[in-house]
Structure 1
Amino acid sequence: MDNEEVKLLLVKYITGEAAPQELEQVKQWISAHPENEQYFAQLYETWHNMLYLQPKVVNKYNAYDKFSGKIEPQTQTRYSRLIYWGKVAACVALLTALSVTFYKRYSKNIQSVKQIAVNHGYIKKVVLSDGTLVWLNAGSKLNYTADFGKTTRTVYLEGEAFFEIAPGKKEIPFIVNTKNYTVRDIGTKFNLKAYATDQFLETTVVKGEVSVEGNAESSNREMNRIYVKHHQVLRIYYQPKKESYSYTAPDTKNMNEIQVTEVDEAKLNLYDGWKDNLLVFEDATLKEMAGVLERRYNVTIHINNDEIANIRYSGSFKNVPDIEKVLSLIMENTPIDYTRNGDVINITKTNNN
């Protein structure tokens, strides 16, 4: 089979349109070489990402740009130009076939996408159909299709979640897609933080191992797969979209920086304590804390100047139901004051004069 036949066959296989004979062809092709398996996995994840996004995201012209961009330009002789445009024509024909197959299946499956959403101020624990336990933090969304646990164990996360993966079903990998990255479970327990308003992805492995790689939406999609092991934390910073919201860059040397650090078991609650109603801050700026407190207590926090926004604080709060109690404890160690009007809190610097 040539490349175009392989691609079309893989799409048919992934979308459930392949005949029995074609199913066997795909299995043989995948098992023939590790690179074939990797290519199949990328296409498989792209398909499932499509299911979780809104229909307006499906854009055949964008798909064509990405697909045709992989065609290498030829030397500009008359003969090579004919070859080049022949490839373009073949690409267009293949894209049309792919679009029809994808969209046909997409239209049927988009209706079966299920979503679990957690409002600000709440935490939710759910059990997926494969037995996996998931804790969802405030302001988070988890999407998955109706066939989850049968032919796929792929979910799409926006926000923060702690996963305790059910044993068994090793033949169907557990995959968490976020907007920019794909996380594959190779272990048992891990925390994943990927809020749209945060300028980083963070995953903490409590037990086992995960792998992380860029996906089609990521500026780092070509990065090598990163393996995060037991008691390690991976944080990947990426460039903010200035048109969406203002943002003060974190204290890192470079954006798109990749950091992997070890963490003592005693300090794991800094990353996953939230699921047990524990808020832990270690050398966090007041601005960083405000983002966490806004989601936890369903309020809006304004800080009136950069000086106090960058004040650093360490401390923990267990089962504190009211944000005013949290703020009063912070005030004991930091020079701040605040006023509250409904759900809006304004933090100011203490006037010592």
Structure 2
Amino acid sequence: MDNEEIKLLLVKYITREADESEIDQVRDWVNAHPENEQYFAQLYETWQNILYLQPNVVNEEKAFDKFSALLVPQETKYRWLIKWSKVAAIITLFGVLSVVLIKHYSQNVQSIREVSANNGGIKKIILTDGTLVWLNAGSKLNYSTDFGRKNRTVYLEGEAFFEIAPGKKTIPFIVNTKNYTIRDIGTKFNLKAYPNDPFFETTVLKGEVAVEGNIDNNAREMSRIYVKPRQVLRIYYRPQKEKYTYKSDDIQELKTLNEIQVLQVDSAKMNKYDGWKEDLLVFDGNTLDEISKVLERRYNVKIVMDDPVLQNIRYSGSFKNVATIDKVLNLIKGNTAIKYSIAGNTVTITKNNN
């Protein structure tokens, strides 16, 4: 098969338009060489990103342009003029493919399932491929109705813990968030991407994940970063006043990206990142502003704390199966200069000057 034939087969396979014979051809081609497998995975992730990041507002023409751009090598203007016949062939090919892609897109938009965990609750679900997912309070997970058959891609807003079931190489497990895409290379990881938090965070307990900026984000371009067991990757959406550094032979790119923080975590302290699914809250030098966001979601309240000095007070402590926010704040008050009042679902925190 020449390049144009395999491109057509790959697109038909990814968009579920291939017949049994074409599916076998794609699988043989993918398994023939590691570079083929890598190319297929990149192509698959690109199409899934387009579908899942903003399924209700994606412009079909724009989506196809982005997808086809991956297939067409960049050429100089002069070389394009020389190869006018090849250009014509590619344009014809993509004209045919666009019909297939847009048809698939219109079907996919109407077949999205959503699972959510409201503030004050945690939800555990089992996906059709056997993957276990715990959703933290104030989170939602979207996936297509044919998940597990020809795709294993989900979209997360909020926080979730994933225990990935084994799958075929041709169907990678992918998690899309607003700004970043995570590809699972292992089995267990926590992912935090709340829209009102100024950072993205993933923590790997077992295996490995790859993280990269998605195709539509407005953030600075980044290289793919691999996060290993007992590592935490945190990416701030905008530059912070403090600069974080991490010296590692594994991730050289971090030297020039001061908004990226990677930490190696002792196994005894991993519950700070995944303990929430067992109703455990762990704070290790977090500011009251950071803590308030966690407590708002966990106890379904609104916390008012207008003093910037108060917001930056740091606190360390852990809470297991604490039923009310009143008990949590009472314990925090014992070690910090704060006082609080509760009226309905509104909590007001002020300084304690006594």
**TM-score between the two structures when normalised by the length of structure 2:** 0.83
- Match of residue 106 from structure 2: 107
Aligned residue for 1:40, secondary structure, equals helix
- Match of residue 317 from structure 2: 315
Deviations 1:177-206 (A, max 9, x none): 222222232322211111122232211122
Q: Give the Å deviation of 1:88.
A: 7.5
Aligned residue for 2:17, secondary structure, equals coil
- Match of residue 336 from structure 2: 334
- Match of residue 251 from structure 1: 242
Deviations 1:261-313 (A, max 9, x none): 21112111100111111111001011111111111111222221211111111
Identity %: 62
C-alpha change, 1:308 and 1:89, in structure 2 (3 Å) is farther
Deviations 1:131-176 (A, max 9, x none): 2221110111111222222223222211111112234656643322
Tell me if the contact between 2:41 and 2:172 (Cα under 8 Å) persists in the aligned partners.
Answer: no
The 5 A counterparts of 1:1-353 are 5-52=5-52, 53-61=54-62, 63-64=64-65, 71-75=74-78, 82=81, 95-167=94-166, 172-218=171-217, 223-239=222-238, 249=240, 251-253=242-244, 257-352=259-354
**TM-score between the two structures when normalised by the length of structure 1:** 0.83
C-alpha change, 1:150 and 1:138, in structure 2 (3 Å) is same
Find the aligned partners of 1:74 and 1:170 in 2 and give their Cα distance. Answer: 37
Find the aligned partners of 2:323 and 2:228 in 1 and give their Cα distance. Answer: 34
5+ residue gaps, structure 2: 245-255
Q: Give the Å deviation of 1:344.
A: 2.5
C-alpha change, 1:30 and 1:191, in structure 2 (3 Å) is same
Find the aligned partners of 2:100 and 2:91 in 1 and give their Cα distance. Answer: 14
Tell me if the contact between 2:130 and 2:164 (Cα under 8 Å) persists in the aligned partners.
Answer: yes
Tell me if the contact between 2:190 and 2:273 (Cα under 8 Å) persists in the aligned partners.
Answer: yes
Q: Give the Å deviation of 1:315.
A: 0.8
- Number of paired residues? 340
RMSD over equivalenced CA pairs, Å: 3.1
